[in-house]
Homo-oligomer: A and B are copies of this chain.
Amino acid sequence: MRVQVLYSGGQDSSLSAVLLEPFFDVELVTCTFGSENWRQAQAAAAAIGLPFWTLTLTREIMDGCIDLILKYGYPRYGINYVHRMALEALAAGGTKYVADGTRRDDHSPMLTPSEVRSLEGRRGISYIRPLAGYGRKAIDALVRERFEIVEGPAIEKADYEAEIRSSIIDRYGERTVERLFPEGHAQSRVMRRLQK
């Protein structure tokens, strides 16, 4: 059974892929709007040793996301929208199982239960969230066992937020981004897989 995992190169989507690996043929897919920041995810995918693809999302999705961020004044609903469109794009590609690295305690990106039912029903697919039943402590323990990571606010990974921010800067300037996006939380990127 083949599963495609939305992949950023960070610890959560990497752990999600590794949890699926004994049970599925796992492929990692990074969505972009055309920039080159998928190369970070590609390097992490190579470190993990799983097949890697990129999928370019349309300009309309970027525009819809930015509209939502401006409308609400914070990124949550715009990011949720891109995430949902990315899962829709994977599902449209014909895979029966799509997955991501969202955690039990995440708020965004996150689909609502009715969005999940709609995605699965319309597309005839199963959406899997391997980390949905794990809290932060258990995830951190598994990550320490399985990966060598780098962490910090300035770590680049491929989570489309960077592309959205730079597009907002292009259109509305630096100060608009500073107003809309809260302080950057720590990012992580997988550098090496530890053998168990």
A-side residues, CB < 8 A to B, are: 1, 19, 22-23, 97, 99, 104, 116, 120, 126-135, 137-138, 141-142, 145
Q: How many copies of the shown chain assemble into the complex? A: 2
The answer to whether A128 and B133 touch across the interface, beta carbons within 8 angstroms, is yes
The answer to whether A120 and B132 touch across the interface, beta carbons within 8 angstroms, is no
Distance A64 CA – B163 CA, assembled complex (angstroms)? 55
Residues of chain B within 8 A of A134, CB atoms compared: 126, 128-129
Distance A138 CA – B129 CA, assembled complex (angstroms)? 11
Identify the closest chain B residue to A129 (Cβ). Answer: B133
Distance A1 CA – B23 CA, assembled complex (angstroms)? 20
Identify the closest chain B residue to A3 (Cβ). Answer: B138
Identify the closest chain B residue to A16 (Cβ). Answer: B133
- Which of A1, A126, A142 counts the most B-chain CB atoms under 10 A from its CB? A126
Identify the closest chain B residue to A23 (Cβ). Answer: B142
